[in-house]
Amino acid sequence: MKIASYTAYGGPETIAFTDAPIPTPAAGEVLVRVRAAPVTAGDARLRSGKVPRGLGLMLRATIGWRRPRVAAGWAFSGEVAGLGAGVSEFAPGQRVFGLTGFKGGAHREFLVIRADGRVLPLPDSLTHEEGAAFFFGGLTAAEFLIDRARLQPGERLLVCGATGAVGGAAVQIGRHLGARVSATASPANHPLARALGAGEVTDYRRMPPPGPFDVILDVMGKLGWAGARGLLAPAGRHVQITADLWEMLGATLRPRREGRRIIMGTNRDDRPSMQRLVALHRAGGYTPALGPVLPFAELARAHAIAEGFHKPGNLVVTMAAV
């Protein structure tokens, strides 16, 4: 089978394909034939080492000083190709999707994963491409809107950067929760933002959206507190999904400002969070928007698109012959 890996921190040219034997599932494990996997903003950041200001040292201390010592690929959708001893909850040929998470390992043609880990049956309502795209932005949007900002029906939500993986999920989930959703996007993406469920859509390069908002989801952190404070209602929440070290320290030391709250951090990617997102999908609240779909062999091109932070929806590679 083909496996993609990162040979160094750097551009998409640092991605290499190697051949490896198809693994054998141990007791309690499932062998998955991967059909599709997303190429996310997170994948591009781990490969390039380019993270918000002040976080580079922390990244390298965690995943490697000279090269990213993580396997490529964060999530997958595929079919059960083999079962280890004692696995009864999955059947051969069954469609499944899941997460390999931060340490990666989904950008390959087969993978093994614990049956009681981050793998779930893929609902019939999702294609493999949608299954691959399902978790990255969805888990982030769900946790920050539901658990952290506690978005309420009737509240006004602004999603800044509303058509990528996180923003596209946030618009849908915000609507499903009963919020009135406004969005910012570049003009080419305005129809997509509306199709996802945003009412008012403005161009973030030209003018600020008309507030006040109860919750602002600042996907790229470009508004920052300085840009968000004038748009927030009393008791409003500014959720900054992308933040540098100094903004994180500031939010930790002083999360409440002028009656408003600043929320930052990283989201969970455990099984209960995944199951909740599936429940949201089944209730009609979330289906990931698909953007470019490329063959696995074009993984480097997919990374080049992902690291621009302007892709519409989610970017997915599909595994066939490389």
Ligand X SMILES: NC(=O)c1ccc[n+]([C@@H]2O[C@H](COP(=O)([O-])OP(=O)(O)OC[C@H]3O[C@@H](n4cnc5c(N)ncnc54)[C@H](OP(=O)(O)O)[C@@H]3O)[C@@H](O)[C@H]2O)c1
Residue type, 201: V
Binding mask 133-172 for ligand X (x = CB under 6 A): ----x--x-------------------xxxxxxxx-----
**C-beta of 313: minimal distance to ligand X in Å?**
7
User: Among candidates 251, 268, 308, 265, which has minimal Cα distance to 50?
Assistant: 308
Instruction: Give the residue with the Cβ less far from ligand X, 115 or 198.
Output: 198
40 binds ligand X (CB under 6 A): yes
**Residues in the chain, how many?**
322
Greatest Cα pair distance, the chain, in angstroms, is 59
Residue type, 249: L
User: Among candidates 143, 58, 144, 46, which has minimal Cα distance to 101?
Assistant: 46
Given a contact cutoff of 8 angstroms between Cβ atoms, the answer to whether 242 and 221 are in contact is yes
Instruction: Give the residue with the Cβ less far from ligand X, 41 or 83.
Output: 41
The residues near 58 (Cβ < 8 Å, ≥ 6 apart) are 245
CA 204 to CA 226: how far, in whole Å?
Answer: 15
Residue type, 266: T
Stretch that binds ligand X, among 41-49, 70-78, 89-97, 272-280 (CB under 6 A): 41-49
Identify how many contiguous H helices and E strands the chain contains and give both numbers. 10, 16
**C-beta of 283: minimal distance to ligand X in Å?**
22
Instruction: Give the residue with the Cβ less far from ligand X, 184 or 287.
Output: 184
Residue type, 182: S
CA 55 from chain centre, in angstroms, equals 19
Instruction: Give the residue with the Cβ less far from ligand X, 140 or 172.
Output: 140
CA 266 to CA 148: how far, in whole Å?
Answer: 11
Binding mask 214-233 for ligand X (x = CB under 6 A): -----xx-x-----------
- CA-angle at 99, arms to 279 and 119, nearest 5°: 60
Count interface residues toward ligand X (CB under 6 A): 29
Of residues 174-213, those binding ligand X (CB under 6 A)? 184-186, 189, 204
309 binds ligand X (CB under 6 A): yes
Stretch that binds ligand X, among 120-128, 245-253, 279-287, 308-316 (CB under 6 A): 308-316
CA 302 to CA 11: how far, in whole Å?
Answer: 12
Binding mask 44-83 for ligand X (x = CB under 6 A): -x--------------------------------------
Binding mask 257-296 for ligand X (x = CB under 6 A): ---------xx-----------------------------
Residue linked to tokens 């793998």: 119
**C-beta of 87: minimal distance to ligand X in Å?**
31
Q: Which residues of the chain form contacts with ligand X (CB under 6 A)?
A: 40-42, 45, 137, 140, 160-167, 184-186, 189, 204, 219-220, 222, 241-242, 266-267, 309-311
